Structure 1
Amino acid sequence: MSTYVRGNHPAATILKVDVGPERRLDAVAAILDEALRQARVVHVSGGPPAPEALDFWAAVNMKLGDVDYRGENPMTLERIPAIWNDIRYDPALATTYRHSKTAQPLHTDGAYNANPPTIGFFFCEAQARHGGRTLFLDGDCLCETLQRESRELYADLRSIPIAFRKGEASGQIVPVIGRDKYGPVINWNYYRISPGQSAEIDRLKNAFFAYLESRFVQTESVAPLHLAPGDCMVFHDLRVLHGREAYEAEKAGERCLWNLNVHWRGEAVVRSSSAS
C-alpha cells in the first residue's frame, strides 16, 4: 500500500510517495498518476533497484502518457532515438552540465523543445557522497515574489517573447512566464536562448539569471530534494524551475541519474506552492 507525505517548503511543495513492495505496473502507474494530480514535485521511493528499474519505470511512464524519445549526444547535441538520458558524472565530458559536478542554475527542461513534455522523470542509480541535491522553485512562488519585489522585471518576463534552441533543434518563441487556467507556465534555460536576438533580450536574460541566483539560490530560498539510490523524482516541468547543487565526485558514474520525459495525459496541478 502506498503512502503520501506532503512537505510544505515555502519555495515548493514536495509530495513523498512510497510505493512499497507493489511491483504491478498498473498499480504503480495509478499511484504516480494520483501523486502528480496532488503536487508539482513528487519524490518516489520503494521501487525496484537497478538494473531492472529502468525497464520498470519506462513501462510505468508509458502508461501515464507519451514518452518523448529525445536521446541526445552530450557533445554534439545531436538528437538520437532513446527513452533515457544519463546525467552521469564523467570527468572526460565535464565541460557539459549533464556530466559535470558543478552547480546547475535554475531552469526548465522543455524550453528548447517546440512541443515540450509536461513531466520530467528521474531515477537515481548512484548518488554523490556529498552535495548534488536537486533544487526546486514553484512557478507560483516565483511570480508572487517577482510581483512584490520586481514588478518591472515581472512585466518584461510576461510580455517579451524569447527564442530558445539547442543545437540545430529550434524550440519555442515565447515569454519566459506564460499563464493558463492552472497557473504560471515557465519556459527558461539561460544557456539555450538563441543568440543575437536583441539588446533588450540580452538585458532581460541577464537580469533574470542574476535575480534567480541572488534572490533564491544564494539565499537558499529553494526546496531541496536529496535522492538516495533507487529513489525517483517526478515533476511538472512547465510549472517549476529546477537546478542542482554542486557535488563531490572523482570517478565516472559516482553520481548517476537517468532521465526520461513524458507528455502526461493528466491535467496540471492548479497550485502546489505554499507561498502566500
Structure 2
Amino acid sequence: MLKSVILPEAASADDCARAVLEAWPDNLVVHLAGLKPEQDLREFYGAMFDKIGHAEPLAEDATVGDRNSQRTGEVWMQVRYDPAIPDAYRHSANPQPLHTDGSYIPGFPNAGFLACKAMPKSGGATTFIAGKDVVAALQSEAPDLYDRLLAVDIPHARSGDRRVAPFLRFEDGEPVLNWNYYCVDTEADAEVQSLRQALFDFLDSSPMIAERLQRVKLSPGEAVLWKDDRLLHGRDGFDPEIVSDRFLWKAQVQVEA
C-alpha cells in the first residue's frame, strides 16, 4: 500500500524519479522522505515529473468565487493555510474528508502529488486508505450501501467539468473509486443525494475505515505521490500558529511506469 523511500537530503530529481519508478508498480502511495532540495520545490519536482511521465495543467484558484471558473491552466496550485480564503478545504485547518481528486474530471491523470514547503507541529498529515480496505469495510459494515454504490452512477461537477461514474467499480479485479462529497452535482436526483449523504456518513463513522487509515506527515522538502482512483485520501486537522503554517504544492501527474 505505502512505500516510504528514505533519500539523502541532497538527492537529485533523477534519484527521486528512479525511486518512484521502482516503487510505483507495487504500491498505491510513494513517500519520498528525507529530502531537502536547495532549489524551488516546483522546479525540483517538475524535473522529476519529466522523468516519470508528465504533469497536467489542472490547477485551481479557490480565491475565484465562481467554482465553475477556478481552473487556472497551470500545473501547480497551493494547499496553504490562509483564514482569509473562506470555504476552501485547501486553505483551511479543518480535517478534510476522504475523496478522490479526479471525481469531476474525465480522463484524469493517474496520480496526485504533494510537495511540502511547511508543516505545523500538530496535525496536518495526509490520510490514505486503499480501495480494497474501503470495499472490505462496506461489505462488512454496510452491505446494502455497498450494493447501492455498485449500481448507481454519481455525477460530479466543478470548474466547468462534469463526470458521471459509480463510486466503485472493478477493473481487472481491482477496485476503482470516484468520489468527492462536495463535488457531487447539486442537480442530481434524490436517489443520488441520498446515496451521497449515506456514503459520507459511512466514511466518517466506520470503525474499519478509521482502523485502516494510513498517515503521511511530510517534512519540508519531502513529497508524496499516490494512485488517485485506487484509494481515498484526506487530511487530519491541524493547529496553525501563523498563515501558511501548512503549505504544500500540489500537482496532478500521469505516471508512465
Do both proteins adopt the same fold according to a TM-score greater than 0.5, normalized to the shorter chain? yes
Among 173, 182, 186, which residue is 2:177 paired with? 186
Contact 1:157-1:175 at 8 Å conserved across structures: yes
Q: Quickly say closer, same or farther: Cα 1:95–1:43, change in 2 above 3 A.
A: same
Q: Quickly say closer, same or farther: Cα 1:219–1:182, change in 2 above 3 A.
A: closer
2:136 and 2:196 mapped to 1: Cα distance? 19
Residue 15, structure 1, aligned to residue 3, structure 2: yes
Which residue of structure 2 aligns with residue 222 of structure 1? Answer: 213
* Counterpart mapping for 1:48-197 below 5 A: 48-49=36-37, 51-76=39-64, 77=67, 78-167=70-159, 169-181=160-172, 183-197=174-188
Helix, strand or coil at the partner of 2:108: coil
Contact 1:164-1:193 at 8 Å conserved across structures: yes
Per-residue CA distance 1:78-132 (angstroms, 9 max, x = gap): 2112121110001111421010001100001011111111101111110012111
Per-residue CA distance 1:127-160 (angstroms, 9 max, x = gap): 0121111111110011122122222111111121
Query: Unpaired segments of 5 or more residues in structure 1?
Result: 1-12, 267-276
Which residue of structure 2 aligns with residue 39 of structure 1? Answer: 27
Give me the identity figure in percent: 32
TM-score, normalized by length of structure 2?
Answer: 0.92
1:50 and 1:248 mapped to 2: Cα distance? 28
Contact 1:85-1:259 at 8 Å conserved across structures: yes
Q: Quickly say closer, same or farther: Cα 1:28–1:245, change in 2 above 3 A.
A: closer
Which letter maps to 1:73? D
1:25 and 1:51 mapped to 2: Cα distance? 11
Offset, 1:219: 4.2
Which letter maps to 1:112? Y
Residue 200, structure 1, aligned to residue 191, structure 2: yes
Residue 252, structure 1, aligned to residue 218, structure 2: no
Offset, 1:216: 4.8
Helix, strand or coil at the partner of 2:243: coil
Query: Unpaired segments of 5 or more residues in structure 2?
Result: none
2:162 and 2:88 mapped to 1: Cα distance? 20
Offset, 1:244: 0.7
Contact 1:47-1:53 at 8 Å conserved across structures: no
1:109 and 1:220 mapped to 2: Cα distance? 23
2:89 and 2:178 mapped to 1: Cα distance? 19
Contact 2:133-2:209 at 8 Å conserved across structures: no
